[in-house]
Amino acid sequence: MKTGNADDLVLGAATGYALEDLLPFVLSLKKTGYAGRICLFVWDLEPKAMVVLRRLGVELYPCSVSQSDKTYTVTGGRFFVFQDFLKGLAGDGGRVMLTDVRDVVFQRNPFDAIEAAGVHVFFEHDASTLGREAFNAAAIVRAYGPDVLDTLAGKPIACVGVVIGDQPSILAYLERITAELGAMAEDFFGSDQAAHNRIVHENAVENCVAHGNDAGPVLHMALVAPSAVRVNGDGCVVRANGEVIPVLHQYDRHPALQHHLLRKYL
């Protein structure tokens, strides 16, 4: 049974991936009954993958990450592509999910647990902070310098890999993150993460709703201990109260779970 709004949008970027890298994302989302559009913006995706994905109803948009001022990484450049795409749509009735692709699977419709308007962002496991986690700390220093890291060091890590909201709020977020990325001297892997955390922790967009990793519709798994991952009798990852978590991100950091999920969805 299809659920949700046909105007809802799931937007992701894919580059250089094989078909098997993308099928868990697409098939798990479709299995939830999600009724909206799946739009992937692609760079050098293998032809076989494009044929199969189109047969599955995925909209594919070949594009470039080169802007007038500089060339961006895929992780940074995707936000300019998302922004251009949303600006070209008529109306603003649907909800939007901006998401990583290769390491994301769905157990429920991602929009079913999002009721309030605004930009919904999701913190990683609270065992670490921006200053203590090496990748995030280095990205912030490279993007903004050590003074900004000093300001943000004790803050929780907001993961740029999943952002959900109503279309006007997501457009406001995209306007801000592209401005942050455009103002950097260079683009690099991690620039988007640095920009996202500055936006979240400096309240740079209105109606920003933050969710902890121990609640809400998204579980970021990179910093979660394997012993803390709970799987119910149906093979779904759940919260301590038994609630099925709609979106699993970074599940590939847990090899046993990855094997289980790939068998489930492929």
Write out the two tokens for 183.
Answer: 């103002």
Mean per-residue pLDDT, 239-259: 97
- From 7, 27, 1, select the one nearest 105 (Cα to Cα): 27
Give pLDDT, residue 179.
Answer: 98
Q: How far apart are CA 87 and CA 261, in angstroms?
A: 35
Residue 1 has pLDDT above 60, yes or no: no
Determine the Cα–Cα distance for residues 60 and 56; give it in Å rounded to an integer: 11
> Mean pLDDT across the stretch 157-168?
98
Report the alpha-carbon distance of residue 155 to residue 20 in Å, rounded: 36
Which domains does the chain possess?
Answer: 9-216 (3.90.550.10)
Average of per-residue pLDDT across 17-29: 95
pLDDT for the residue numbered 3: 64
d(CA 9, CA 174) in angstroms, rounded, equals: 15
Distance CA 223, CA 28 (A): 23
Q: Could you give the CA distance from residue 106 to residue 236 in angstroms, rounded to a whole number? A: 10
Instruction: State what percent of residues in the chain have pLDDT above 90.
Output: 84
Look up residue 50 and give its two tokens: 């494009």
With contact defined as beta carbons under 8 Å apart, do 121 and 210 qualify?
Answer: yes
Q: Is the pLDDT of residue 151 over 60?
A: yes
Confidence of residue 262 (pLDDT cuts 50, 70, 90): very high
pLDDT given for residue 71 in this prediction: 79
Q: 41: helix, coil or strand?
A: strand
Task: Render pLDDT for 46-105 as a digit per residue (tens, 0 to 9).
Answer: 888 999 999 999 999 988 665 555 678 889 999 999 999 999 997 767 899 999 999 999
Query: What's the mean pLDDT in 155-182?
Result: 98
% residues pLDDT > 70 (the chain):
95
pLDDT value of position 29? 98
Q: Give yes or no for residue 150 having a pLDDT over 70.
A: yes
183, exposed or middle or buried, with CB in 10 Å at 0-12, 13-18, 19+?
Answer: exposed
In this predicted structure, the answer to whether residue 261 has a pLDDT above a threshold of 80 is yes
pLDDT at 118 over 70: yes
The confidence score (pLDDT) of residue 68 equals 54
Average of per-residue pLDDT values in the chain: 94
Look at 16 and 137; give whichever has higher pLDDT. 137
